[in-house]
Amino acid sequence: MIMARWCFTLCLFSILDTSVIPAQDGWSPLLNHRDLSGWEHVGPGAFVVEDGMLKTKGGMGLLWYSERKIGNAILRLSFQRTHSRADSGVFIRIPERPNEPLMPLHRGYEIEIGDWPEDYSCTGALYTFTNALARPERPAGEWNTMEITLDGPRTVVFVNGVKVTDYTEGQPVLPKNHPHDPERGPRPEWGYVGLQNYSDDSVVIFREVSVKSLHKNR
């Protein structure tokens, strides 16, 4: 009986401790669901881990994955906006380690998470660069899946299985309409990735951030 209980406890620990769970079907988790190991934060506000999930707190700041640059890969996220005005973003192709939260906006791409009227500022669009091809995000309070493919110079974004963005470097982009819009110009094929915390009244929760290689040479 003691041995049986020990085995049960060990198995349960292995299930809860994601650090000992191997990559499944090629997917490697970037979150350990306990703390922010492997991630760094710049700017105001923070991310906190609650009930095994990442939750935005205040802002505007950036939580970025500091272990390595990512390219020729698929980034998969599961997220929930807590109310209709909640806002966040997924940053990709950040060329250097960010020391403030706005550099990634101007030198990488932000993939919007938000339900705003403009098609260049809704979930899955490259913020102010491209208009969304569709708006498949579920209502606030429901979970969504986003898959971002970084295939050399090409960026493809699916939300809940529907293609929202398909952009390759060099294709035409929308003009800058406001001084605070991101600077135009090429982005690298490999870069750091990050998540935005926007404000206290704009809470977004992430329960998965995983990456899967496209098995291409760097």
The CATH number of residue 71's host domain is 2.60.120.560
**pLDDT value of residue 29:** 98
On whether the CB atoms of residues 115 and 122 are closer than 8 A, the answer is: yes
For residue 41, is it within any domain?
A: yes
On whether the CB atoms of residues 43 and 101 are closer than 8 A, the answer is: yes
Summarised one tens digit per residue, pLDDT across range 163-201 is 999 999 999 999 998 999 999 999 999 999 999 999 998
For residue 207, is it within any domain?
A: yes
Summarised one tens digit per residue, pLDDT across range 102-116 is 999 999 999 999 999
132 lies in which domain range? 29-213
Domain count of the fold of the chain: 1
For residue 15, is it within any domain?
A: no
Q: How confident is the model at residue 215 (pLDDT cuts 50, 70, 90)?
A: confident
For 14, the token pair is 């292995």
For residue 156, is it within any domain?
A: yes
Task: Say how far residue 191 (Cα) sits from the centre of its chain.
Answer: 13
Task: Measure the CA angle with vertex 81, ends 78 and 84; round to 5°.
Answer: 150
For residue 147, is it within any domain?
A: yes
